[in-house]
């Protein structure tokens, strides 16, 4: 069975309740029907033919919850109710309050709005200061690579790069089910070039090693040395990842976003994501170009994030 087939099967073993925030969109409606018919997750659809947050009996409770989370951002009770009636905030609050295991949005709204709603209602996981994202690139040979960060953090500091790599590595184990091998990418391999951009990646790789000494990692390293055992042996002999990296940490958002789109369009890879990482509970952002199949697979990823099963 292919990775994408196994993904739906593994997600279905838990039957998580996943909120779909944009039920007016026909792609979301079609995805909900497929998720329900294939018993991948139990979708909770907001809008369209689904729940209307403004008329839901939980509206007052969610308004109170959101006001308690950010009292400085809420003018009064009416403002709190207006916020709670917004599907993004309503969906994120359902997850935070334990009435759903995860949430999916972004088919019709920008990434920034999804992330802000997630931070307001859900917040970051304990010990985590940063929300970032990964795409899971399913190549034609069914190999799966994690690309991070491709959607959220424009110019990460060395410490943020290390945290992004760690979040991606932890999710890799849940979502793909194999051991992460993390490469901090650069235009330099082991000092073959210099400059502030190289130094930033070198520092990030060192910080990652301190945070996660038991996870195989290397950096700074060029993409060919990270992905080819033959090239890796020439450029980085003895590398802990041995030219077999499966988590690629890009030095900035420009490079990550460009790379995933090139691999998707030119190599025929399927890009599942962006999957947000670092939140206390899962909420995913969709590309506004997502198909209904994309939404189904992202919902399955969110379900696996919520329970961490590997099967």
Determine whether 282 is exposed, middle or buried from the number of CB atoms within 10 Å of its CB (0-12, 13-18, 19+).
Answer: buried
Which sequence spans correspond to the domains of the chain?
Answer: 1-123+280-311, 127-278
Summarize the confidence of residues 213-229 as an average pLDDT: 95
DSSP 8-state secondary structure symbol assigned to residue 173: H
Query: What is the per-residue pLDDT for 309?
Result: 36
Full-model pTM: 0.91
Architecture of domain 1-123+280-311: 3-Layer(aba) Sandwich (3.40)
- Domain 1-123+280-311 shares a fold with domain 127-278: yes
- In the predicted model, is pLDDT for residue 310 greater than 50? no
Query: Residue 201: how many CA atoms within 13 Å on its side-chain side?
Result: 26
Query: What is the per-residue pLDDT for 50?
Result: 85
- Tell me the pairing of strands 144-148 and 132-138: antiparallel
Mean pLDDT, the chain, rounded, equals 92
Query: What is the per-residue pLDDT for 308?
Result: 45
Query: What is the per-residue pLDDT for 311?
Result: 36
Q: Per-residue pLDDT tens for 69-85?
A: 888 887 887 888 988 89
Summarize the confidence of residues 208-232 as an average pLDDT: 95
3-state helix, strand, coil in the chain (%, to 5): 45, 15, 35
CA 107 to chain centre: 15
Q: Per-residue pLDDT tens for 234-290?
A: 999 999 998 999 999 999 999 999 999 999 999 999 999 889 999 999 999 998 888
Beta carbons of 114 and 89 less than 8 angstroms apart: no
Summarize the confidence of residues 37-59 as an average pLDDT: 92
Structural fold of domain 127-278: Rossmann fold (3.40.50)
> Residue 273 and residue 288: Cα distance in Å, rounded?
11
Q: Per-residue pLDDT tens for 137-177?
A: 999 999 999 999 998 999 999 999 999 999 999 999 889 98
Summarize the confidence of residues 8-19 as an average pLDDT: 91
DSSP 8-state secondary structure symbol assigned to residue 144: E
């Amino acid at each position: 069975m292919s990775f994408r087939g196994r993904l739906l099967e593994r997600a279905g073993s838990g039957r998580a309740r996943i909120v779909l925030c944009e039920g007016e969109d026909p792609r979301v409606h079609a995805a909900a029907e497929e998720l329900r018919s294939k018993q991948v997750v139990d979708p909770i659809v907001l809008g369209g033919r689904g729940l209307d947050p403004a008329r839901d009996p939980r509206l007052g409770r969610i308004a109170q919850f959101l006001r308690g989370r950010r009292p400085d951002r809420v003018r009064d009770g009416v403002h709190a109710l207006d916020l709670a009636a917004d599907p993004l905030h309503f969906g994120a609050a359902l997850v935070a309050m334990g009435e759903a295991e995860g949430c999916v949005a972004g088919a019709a709204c920008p990434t920034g709005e999804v992330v802000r709603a997630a931070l307001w209602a859900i917040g970051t996981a304990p010990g985590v200061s940063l929300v970032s994202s990964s795409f899971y690139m399913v190549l034609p040979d069914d190999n799966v690579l994690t690309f991070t960060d491709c959607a959220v953090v424009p110019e990460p500091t060395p410490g943020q790069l290390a945290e992004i790599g760690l979040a991606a590595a932890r999710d890799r184990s849940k979502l793909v089910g194999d051991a992460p091998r993390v490469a901090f990418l650069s235009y330099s391999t082991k000092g073959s070039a210099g400059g502030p951009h190289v130094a930033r990646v070198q520092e990030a790789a060192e910080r990652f090693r301190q945070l996660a000494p038991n996870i195989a990692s290397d950096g700074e390293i060029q993409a060919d040395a990270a992905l080819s055992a033959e090239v890796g042996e020439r450029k980085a002999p003895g590398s802990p990842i041995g030219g077999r990296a499966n988590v690629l940490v890009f030095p900035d958002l420009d490079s990550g976003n460009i790379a995933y789109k090139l691999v998707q369009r030119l190599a025929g890879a399927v890009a599942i994501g962006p999957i947000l990482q670092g939140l206390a509970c899962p909420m995913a952002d969709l590309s506004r170009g997502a198909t209904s199949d994309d939404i189904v697979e992202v919902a399955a990823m969110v379900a696996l994030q919520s329970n961490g099963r590997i099967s």
